[in-house]
Amino acid sequence: MNIERKLARLIFPGFRFGETDPEDARRLVDMGIGGFCLYQGKVEAICDFTAELQARAAEPLLFCADYEDGPGRWALGASELPSNMAIGAAGAEEFSRRKAEITAREARALGVDWVFAPVADLATRKENPIVNVRAFGDEPRDAARLAGAYMAGLASGGTLNSIKHFPGHGETEKDSHLALPSLKRSPAQLEECELKPFAANLPAADSVMIGHLLVDDIDPEFPASFSKKIIGGLLRGKMGYKGCVVTDALSMKAINDEDAAGVSALRAGADVLLVPDDPFKLHRALLEAFRKGSISEKDADTALGRIQAMLAGISGAGPRPGREAIGSAGHRAFNAEIASDCLAWIKKSAQPALRKGETVAYLEPGNPDPAQWKGKAFVEELRRQGVEVKPARDVSGGRLLAVSFSRPQAFSGHINLSPENRAEIEKRLGADGRMTMVAFGSPFVFESFAGRLDAALCAFCAIEEFQTAAARILAGAAQARGKVPVKLKGSNWSCSAAV
């Protein structure tokens, strides 16, 4: 393999169904890239795409995806599964492992062999716009335990894992899709807190994804994703990790010059250069760096060796499941089976929070049109339980049922309720009103209304089965057995800032 193809093999471009030109993907395969990170797409289109390009490639391609909560978060027709924080609320390793097994089975049926999960970040800062319910919670030992179970589930299902985002993204306040976050933690604080879930699971890590964040006390000059001090010194040196290192997406706006970043990442010890905006341009930049002596053929060979060693982990995975495994009834049943164990009361009323025959004023802040409500499954089940649900705009007085769907969303830059959302709820409540509140996402939304809640329930995600369970719990037809895995009042630290 010549140097041009060796360097191409380290690049894993993104492919967005409906956006990326398939002809560009074919050209990239012919150039020799290592694989693709897939976004969006219908099940049939994904299966056809992965099969076609595998047949075209001179070397086997490795397809990867951010299927943290099951392929259904991206692939239309596949199973969407509970968030990590929902699993954290249950605290059950069995649930984490089963979630990963389902994810792996459906991913393999789609042609995807590398899942960028689990998230080992800690939800220690409520303002963090990109971690939140993607984390198992704010306690390092629990995150380590549940991440380990998830990794075991992916392995048993035949896919590769990638624990992320090293050295820990939870204690930052910026969305790295938009800007470069800074982690204000000393090496001792990192070791006591953020690094624990990673350290506990590195022996089982097929790969480690490096976050785009600046760790001032270790390397104030370079982001972790292309820092020799963090990749080479901390991860590979002090922590002894010898496996594959993958950058977070180079297209993220935390990186100003993705071509220079790709070269720097390779020199720092990264092996896979993930999702550049222009993979052809990155390839040319790598070749130019090779010609100038900034990187060597040995650098490329070392990275390729680690990728090949990682691939050995799925060499015996066996035949792929058929397409009938994707979005199967059995996988959906898992969601319903565990829902009550995952939902958690923030504040529980002595009697059922909502009673048969009661009329409630339903409010999704920022979404007044019933035709556009995200909580349709929730509302339908409340009505089956005998609760009369009406749009808040159509009700004068009566109990307010406020429902939040706040969750991390790349490139949004914010999380929890906006000032406009809070003002909308306050206006409907009036000066002395109280309400029932449900969060199908971030649990931190309750902090704004702590003194005005008659009852408050958190589902940590908005999948249909959890919406149905939430309605049944509010109506007294089921029990919520989860425990909130983050602190909601005062300090949000499980790890002391003073180490």
207-225 per-position pLDDT tens digit = 999 998 999 999 999 999 9
Paired with 453 in beta bridges are 435
Query: Which amino acid would we find at residue 337?
Result: E
User: How far apart, in whole angstroms, are the C-alpha atoms of residue 101 and residue 392?
Assistant: 41
DSSP, res 217: T
DSSP, res 322: P
107 is written with which tokens? 């991913």
- Percent of the chain residues past pLDDT 90, beyond the cut: 79
> In sequence order, what E strands does 292-369 have?
344-347, 359-363
Q: Does the active-site annotation cover 283? A: no
User: How far apart, in whole angstroms, are the C-alpha atoms of residue 498 and residue 131?
Assistant: 22
371-384 per-position pLDDT tens digit = 999 999 999 999 99
> Quick check: 92 pLDDT over 60?
yes
Going along the chain from its start, the domains and CATH numbers come out as 3-325 (3.20.20.300), 344-474 (3.40.50)
Among 69, 219, 248, 341, which one carries the catalytic annotation? 248
Determine how many CB atoms are found less than 10 A away from the CB of residue 242.
Answer: 9
Output the pTM of the full model. Answer: 0.94
Among 121, 169, 175, 177, which one carries the catalytic annotation? 177
Is 215 in contact with 224 (CB distance < 8 Å)? yes
484 is written with which tokens? 């909130």
User: How far apart, in whole angstroms, are the C-alpha atoms of residue 280 and residue 302?
Assistant: 22
Q: Is 438 helix (H, G, I), strand (E, B) or coil?
A: strand
DSSP, res 280: H
User: How distant, in Å, are the alpha carbons of 9, 230, 298 from that of 294?
Assistant: 18, 20, 12
| Better-predicted residue by pLDDT, 367 or 81 | 81
Mean pLDDT rounded to a whole number for the chain:
92
* The pLDDT value given to residue 177: 58
* The pLDDT value given to residue 491: 35
Is 63 in contact with 108 (CB distance < 8 Å)? no
Paired with 388 in beta bridges are 359
Tell me the HSE value of 144 on the side-chain side, using a 13 A CA sphere.
Answer: 15
> Quick check: 245 pLDDT over 70?
yes
User: How distant, in Å, are the alpha carbons of 161, 164, 335 from that of 150?
Assistant: 9, 13, 16
Q: How confident is the model at residue 431 (pLDDT cuts 50, 70, 90)?
A: low
254-282 per-position pLDDT tens digit = 566 778 889 999 999 999 999 999 999 99
Angle 297-311/258-268 helices, nearest 10 degrees?
80
* The pLDDT value given to residue 180: 82
Q: Does the active-site annotation cover 248? A: yes
345 is written with which tokens? 């009361």
Q: How confident is the model at residue 411 (pLDDT cuts 50, 70, 90)?
A: very low
Is 41 in contact with 65 (CB distance < 8 Å)? no
> Quick check: 179 pLDDT over 70?
no
User: How far apart, in whole angstroms, are the C-alpha atoms of residue 373 and residue 199?
Assistant: 42
CB under 8 Å to 66, separation ≥6 — which residues?
A: 37, 39, 73, 74, 116, 117
- Percent of the chain residues past pLDDT 70, beyond the cut: 94
> In sequence order, what E strands does 220-368 have?
244-247, 273-274, 344-347, 359-363
Average pLDDT over residues 310-339: 93
User: How far apart, in whole angstroms, are the C-alpha atoms of residue 485 and residue 11?
Assistant: 37
Q: What's the chain's Rg over C-alpha atoms?
A: 23
Is 168 in contact with 194 (CB distance < 8 Å)? yes
CA proximity to 406, closest of 435, 433, 439: 439
> Quick check: 126 pLDDT over 80?
yes
